[in-house]
Amino acid sequence: MSKLQEVFARIQETKAEQRKIKSLYREALNNSQEYYEINEKLKELKNRKKQIEDNIKIEFEAEFSKLEKLKTELETDKEMLSNLALNQLIKGEKIELIDKDDNQYEPIFSVKFKKFT
């Protein structure tokens, strides 16, 4: 068995053990009356908080619209930055960025796996 497969199997076993422990913990919480009562009070407070937030959001509708536009622009620019950096890396060029405070940045690349279906 390859080293890669061994590490993958170990990760799967660890995740299964984590799920088991988390399940036991949730079960213990669900059996606690005090936890239930506090949870109900928390739900009431969250609902009240949501009402207040919604009222204030109405007052700041223009600002929130601008915020959403900025968020979209930021995501687009981040994707473009990643693509440009990857293209530079493929060409063998050095990749380095400097911000307005003269802090230097270098890219960090990662590999992720997803289930093949």
Tokens of 68: 């959403």
Amino acid at 32: S
Cβ neighbours for 29, distance < 8 A, ≥ 6 positions apart: 35
What is the predicted pLDDT for the residue at 15? 97
From CA 41, how far away is CA 2, in angstroms rounded?
Answer: 53
pLDDT in tens, 29-84: 999 999 999 999 999 999 999 999 999 999 999 999 999 999 999 999 999 999 99
From CA 94, how far away is CA 106, in angstroms rounded?
Answer: 9
Q: Nearest-CA neighbor of 85 among 103, 72, 97?
A: 97
**Domain regions of the chain by residue span:** 3-92
Instruction: Give pTM, 2 decimals.
Output: 0.53
What is the predicted pLDDT for the residue at 1? 61
